[in-house]
Structure 1
Amino acid sequence: MSVLEGSMIDQLRATHRAAAATLPYTHVADLRIGGASVRSTGSAHETVVDPATGETWGSVPEGTASDVDAAVAAARAAFPSWAARTPTERADALRRMADAVERRAEVLAITNTLENGSPIAETGGAASNAAAILRVFASLSSYLEEPDIRPFPGGVNETVVARDPIGVCALIAPWNFPINLVVIKLAPALLAGCTVVIKPASPTPLSIRFLLDAADEAGIPPGVINLVTGGGATGEILVRHPDVDKVAFTGSTPVGRRIAAACGELLRPVTLELGGKSAAIILPDADLDAMSSVLVRSCVRNTGQTCYISTRLIATPERYDALVDMVTATVGAARVGDPLDPATVFGPVATAAQRDKVMGYVRSGIAEDARVTVGGDIAPPIEGGSFVAPTVFADVSPDMRIAREEIFGPIITIIPARDVDDAVAISNSTNFGLGGIVFGSDEDAAFQVARRVDTGSIGVNFFASNHYAPFGGRHDSGLGVEYGIEGLNAYLTPQSVHRRSR
């Protein structure tokens, strides 16, 4: 990787400025409340910075307590009529919204890439994935329509279990996947009959507006979906608002703890999808050629800024050296560069602060005598942007900081294990429990190993989210689940009506 200089940097900046000039949302003065663009009651704004160039290209209002009040009030006002619609009617609206999101795929992808530096090859799929989530939840409408009647013991009487929407929901999303990590909350909330206030992360407040445009096109009534932008202070006001009935948050474990504490104090339901330090166990019979084809997506997806990726690779002696060689070659061959280039695999990390944090981990690994096989503490590939050289550490011990803490950057650690039992023990020697993978040619044996890993989700020879199956973390990785019937139930509150058998 060579450092770009002079005219090449100028060309990069010119390309990004030209891309920003095509976008409908850059410097935005309004919030979206009650189906209308509404000026913030405050004067403060947050800037949007392109991580590839370090240049400011957008801004949004910093929402105030009065703004949050207005958004929650709009959601509360819209709740009765939206909840009164049938599940089928709400599902039809979700399907129309899915179509409308897909029509905005290109402009949404460019906005997202300029916000957080995710390669366009990644953001280009955001609209289709969001649409798929909306359609999957729409397909679950029959679950809400079918009567749930349960007999008393002895069969004399019966109970009708009704499922009511929980009410007004605060949806707070992070910057790494700003569209899909909203939609996995928004889709079940809408199907359940809830209304929402969305608070996106500070670095990514613009791309989310395309979801609201799609909702308007789909005929979702004003006030059902509201948007307030701002930082942590705005989020805290929303979490603690007295007229919010539920909070759903994806983000870091420290912030999740604070939200959980607030919701516990308020006796408010909360779903938390938090950090991870997932492991990939490489069994002695693993096919390393096949593994190489899924390595980037499974272990350093989105420039390593993904919560469930398996950044710890744990191998027994039979495959250790070959694994190090394969991972080094695969990561070293992946293209680092302009995130607007479809060939780019690794773009910048999302912010300058995140770059500095990741580089701190790189230097920590070097100081603790982990062996760098590619990358390391070297000059960034593009000056001015928040780039980190993709780095592989071998000969890592489980007690090293880079093996214990979530890094959220393009860093892979490779840890030797004595045998399979030791690999499982190392995998479980973490406070997190979100994702994971077991690689092995004997998939039945790999499945049995996977069942021994203490984590919310795990794959055999690959990892992917199934929109029909629950996704959630154990321990420091969160509370509750998203996706599937289980994710829908998080937005429902049951009522048991006891009656005499007919």
Structure 2
Amino acid sequence: MSVQLETDELKSSLRGLLGSADPSEATMAIIEQGVVGEERMLIDGELVGSSSGAMFANVDPTTEQVLGMVADATADDIDRAVTAARRAFDTTDWSTNHEFRAHCLMQFYDAMMRNAELLRATTVYEAGIAVRTTNSIHSYAAISSIPYWAQMATSYEYERQLPDRPWAYGDRHRIRYEAVGVVAAITPWNFPLATAMTKVAPALAAGATVVLKPAPQTPWHATLMAKLIAEETDFPAGVINIVTPSDNDVAELLARDPRVDIVHFTGSTAVGKKLMSIASDRIARVALELGGKSANIILPDVPIEHVVPLAAGMLSVNAGQGCVLPSRMLVHESRYDEATELIKFAYEAMPFGDPRDPDVVQGPQITETQRSRILGLIDAGVAQGARVVTGGGKPAEFDHGFFVEPTLLTHVDENSTVAQREIFGPVLSLLPYKDVDDAVRIANNSTYGLAGYVWSPDEEAALGVARRIRSGMIAVNGSFFYGPDLPWGGYKESGLGRESGAEGFAEFLEVKTIAVGRAFEQ
């Protein structure tokens, strides 16, 4: 078999990473036509501009050109949104009318499904995500979670009675679950639609009201949602509000506002710590899905020529901009040199470039600031002894766009900056281990604990390692841990609480114990 044929086969395999697929004709038609985004926000049931009239630019990370504008929310706009959400929760039956909540959510689902291809195209333009990787988490899989939450709205056991226990200072006891109140949902730019769905849909299903604040780098997916909600659903005014400030200091007002009952945030650990500190001043609840430094453990019995190239290639999905993506690969020391060559081969074959090209897997980074940070961390790694085997810089073939080459670092100290800090880019650190105990130790040597990956033909052996990793989610042998019924979240500095599943639904509920005595019984 020729090297060229092997390269072509590898490229074909890489194009199927994490459920990637050829985009539909409908998606490509929108891509070719271009996307015109919604400029307005949703506040108290109306599509509105900023109270100041100000707008900010939505920039295409592939061309570095302005795609269009969006309303720049002010402090007054934030206040109006919170006021509306508070009123809707306190003065309507939204929190107790389970059937109506399900009805509104299913209307939302239908509207989103009708616009799924537009949402895909919007993600390609404003986030730079390769179009072939948008068919799942960036569109249909995220949207398809809504019926799960609509069903949860009506089927959840909101009140249950415990068995009689006369000795427990009361004869009868009920446990009641009530909607938390007003939710400040703050979402990132890397998986904009998916993270919005894991907050907005379950919060609404639970009976909470919401103020959604998307990242300013990717506002259009949220303003499109705002348009659909306003024009195609029966959500009462104030139940769901969507605001788009460009200034994160304005967004912090949500965490400080005493009318907000829970701050539900996905993003960096540094910002999560700041929001947690702000919310602590008023003892407000927080739910935080933060950073990660996931280890990808290749056990000694793995046929690495088949597994390592694709396992390493996962880091190019979303241009490495994913908190759960495996940025540390651990291989047995006897296979280290072989793994190095396999990853080098895979990264040099990686289809990357314009995300509008249906053959591309890796697009640009989100901003020049993000690209500069990644390149700076690569330099820091080299200064601490790491070696760049391939990549490590800006690709020479592009004269615009915030691109970073798929990068492999070897001879990485497990305690060095690149092995410990979340890089959030297509940079893989390859680390050797002596035995399985050593691999587990290295994987757990992190302040993070979000996700992990284990590979072995011996499934029980892989599961044994998975159980020892101090992370909230583990994928074994190429699986993935995404779904509306699967709790998502991490240990240690990777966050607090969970998204999705019954556990994630519970984040939007308060718990009340009711004890009933027999004072008036004969």
* TM-score, normalisation: structure 1: 0.91
Q: What is residue 215 of structure 1 aligned with on the other side?
A: 229
The 2-side partners of 1:203 and 1:20 are apart by: 22
Q: What is residue 391 of structure 1 aligned with on the other side?
A: 407
The 2-side partners of 1:390 and 1:404 are apart by: 19
**What amino acid is aligned across from residue 140 of structure 2 in structure 1?**
S
Tell me the CA shift for residue 86 of structure 1.
3.1
The 2-side partners of 1:324 and 1:143 are apart by: 51
Mapping 1:300-379, distance limit 5 Å: 300-379=316-395
Residue by residue over 1:348-405, the C-alpha shift from the partner in whole angstroms, topping out at 9 and shown as x without a partner, is 0000100111111222223333232221235444112100111111222202211111
1:64 aligns with 2:78: no
Q: What is residue 115 of structure 1 aligned with on the other side?
A: 126
**What amino acid is aligned across from residue 88 of structure 2 in structure 1?**
A
Q: What is residue 148 of structure 1 aligned with on the other side?
A: 160
1:205 aligns with 2:219: yes
The 2-side partners of 1:496 and 1:297 are apart by: 50
Residue by residue over 1:194-241, the C-alpha shift from the partner in whole angstroms, topping out at 9 and shown as x without a partner, is 111111101111111222233342322222111111121121112111
Higher mean displacement: 473-482 or 329-338: 329-338
**What amino acid is aligned across from residue 115 of structure 1 in structure 2?**
E
Q: What is residue 246 of structure 1 aligned with on the other side?
A: 262
Tell me the CA shift for residue 410 of structure 1.
0.7
Residue by residue over 1:98-125, the C-alpha shift from the partner in whole angstroms, topping out at 9 and shown as x without a partner, is 2221211121122222112111122343
The 2-side partners of 1:67 and 1:397 are apart by: 48
Call closer, same or farther: CA 1:161–1:208 in 2, change over 3 Å. Answer: same
Q: Give the one of 29, 32, 38 matched to 2:42.
A: 32
Q: What is residue 208 of structure 2 aligned with on the other side?
A: 194
The 2-side partners of 1:177 and 1:297 are apart by: 18
The 1-side partners of 2:308 and 2:361 are apart by: 14
Q: What is residue 196 of structure 2 aligned with on the other side?
A: 182
Q: What is residue 401 of structure 1 aligned with on the other side?
A: 417
The 2-side partners of 1:437 and 1:422 are apart by: 15
CA contact (8 A) 2:102 2:154 kept: no
The 1-side partners of 2:103 and 2:463 are apart by: 38
Call closer, same or farther: CA 1:318–1:138 in 2, change over 3 Å. Answer: farther
Call closer, same or farther: CA 1:45–1:365 in 2, change over 3 Å. Answer: same
Tell me the CA shift for residue 61 of structure 1.
2.6
Call closer, same or farther: CA 1:82–1:440 in 2, change over 3 Å. Answer: farther
**What amino acid is aligned across from residue 150 of structure 2 in structure 1?**
A
CA contact (8 A) 2:44 2:241 kept: yes
Residue by residue over 1:432-488, the C-alpha shift from the partner in whole angstroms, topping out at 9 and shown as x without a partner, is 000001111111011111111111111111333232121111111111111111101
Residue by residue over 1:110-143, the C-alpha shift from the partner in whole angstroms, topping out at 9 and shown as x without a partner, is 2222112111122343221222221222232355
1:54 aligns with 2:71: no
The 2-side partners of 1:260 and 1:474 are apart by: 16
**What amino acid is aligned across from residue 201 of structure 1 in structure 2?**
A
Q: What is residue 136 of structure 1 aligned with on the other side?
A: 148
1:498 aligns with 2:512: no
The 1-side partners of 2:119 and 2:143 are apart by: 13
Mapping 1:9-28, distance limit 5 Å: 19=31, 22-25=34-37, 28=39
Q: Give the one of 484, 498, 501 matched to 1:481.
A: 498
The 2-side partners of 1:205 and 1:309 are apart by: 23
Q: What is residue 226 of structure 1 aligned with on the other side?
A: 241
The 2-side partners of 1:203 and 1:120 are apart by: 18
RMSD over aligned Cα atoms: 2.2
Mapping 1:90-101, distance limit 5 Å: 90-101=101-112
The 2-side partners of 1:328 and 1:417 are apart by: 20
Structure 2: where are the runs of 5+ without partners? 1-27
CA contact (8 A) 1:164 1:492 kept: yes
Residue by residue over 1:403-438, the C-alpha shift from the partner in whole angstroms, topping out at 9 and shown as x without a partner, is 111000111110011111111111111100000011
The 1-side partners of 2:120 and 2:436 are apart by: 42
Corresponding pairs, count: 484
Q: What is residue 171 of structure 1 aligned with on the other side?
A: 185
* TM-score, normalisation: structure 2: 0.88
Q: Give the one of 453, 466, 472 matched to 2:489.
A: 472
Q: What is residue 9 of structure 1 aligned with on the other side?
A: none
Residue by residue over 1:64-90, the C-alpha shift from the partner in whole angstroms, topping out at 9 and shown as x without a partner, is 111111111111222243524532332
Q: What is residue 7 of structure 1 aligned with on the other side?
A: none
Higher mean displacement: 490-499 or 116-125: 116-125
Structure 1: where are the runs of 5+ without partners? 1-15
CA contact (8 A) 2:42 2:227 kept: no
**What amino acid is aligned across from residue 261 of structure 1 in structure 2?**
S
Tell me the CA shift for residue 289 of structure 1.
4.8
Task: Tell me the SS of whatever aligns to 1:223.
Answer: coil
Q: Give the one of 412, 431, 435 matched to 1:415.
A: 431
Task: Tell me the SS of whatever aligns to 1:237.
Answer: helix
The 2-side partners of 1:326 and 1:500 are apart by: 70
Q: What is residue 92 of structure 2 aligned with on the other side?
A: 81
Task: Tell me the SS of whatever aligns to 2:68.
Answer: strand
Residue by residue over 1:116-171, the C-alpha shift from the partner in whole angstroms, topping out at 9 and shown as x without a partner, is 21111223432212222212222323553464111354577221111111111111
Task: Tell me the SS of whatever aligns to 1:23.
Answer: coil
Call closer, same or farther: CA 1:465–1:301 in 2, change over 3 Å. Answer: same
Q: What is residue 447 of structure 2 aligned with on the other side?
A: 431
Tell me the CA shift for residue 19 of structure 1.
5.0
1:157 aligns with 2:171: yes
Higher mean displacement: 273-282 or 94-103: 94-103
Identity %: 37
Q: What is residue 45 of structure 1 aligned with on the other side?
A: 55
Q: What is residue 106 of structure 1 aligned with on the other side?
A: 117
The 1-side partners of 2:411 and 2:94 are apart by: 56
Tell me the CA shift for residue 329 of structure 1.
2.0
The 2-side partners of 1:378 and 1:115 are apart by: 20
Call closer, same or farther: CA 1:107–1:400 in 2, change over 3 Å. Answer: same
